[in-house]
Amino acid sequence: MRLWLLRPRDDLPEVRDEHANPWYPWHDKYFGFVIRAETEERAREMAQVDGGDEIGCQWHDIAAWLSPEYSTCTELTADGDEGIVIKDFASA
């Protein structure tokens, strides 16, 4: 198995349009996952199934975690400098 880090893209616009930025506004949403899966596709599927309001609501679905248009999915390895992998904090 491989480890995958999924995050929203950094270059999404800050607008109240779920099709431009599924993470705006910021509440009731996941901003990161670390998932163990064989492939990036499977990791994205797992995040999409377990997401919050960023994936839509009962009236419409958004491919927030499935689409590279909205999110990144990077394989994690043990190589690299010492540091925190994910620290996801939101304050109101």
Q: Is residue 37 part of a domain?
A: yes
For 9, the domain range is: 2-76
Q: Is residue 21 part of a domain?
A: yes
Q: Is residue 87 part of a domain?
A: no
In the 3-class helix/strand/coil scheme, how is 13-46 assigned residue by residue?
Answer: CCCCCCCCCCCCCCCCCCCCEEEEECCHHHHHHH
Q: Report pTM.
A: 0.85
Q: Is residue 83 part of a domain?
A: no
Alpha carbon distance 7, 72 (integer Å):
5
Contacts of 76 (CB under 8 A, 6+ apart): 2, 3, 4, 5, 34, 85
DSSP count for the chain of H helices, then E strands: 1, 3
Q: Is residue 64 part of a domain?
A: yes
Query: How many domains is the chain built from?
Result: 1
pLDDT in 10s for each residue of the chain, 92 residues: 999 999 999 999 988 777 899 999 888 899 999 999 999 999 999 999 999 999 987 667 899 999 999 999 999 998 888 888 888 777 66
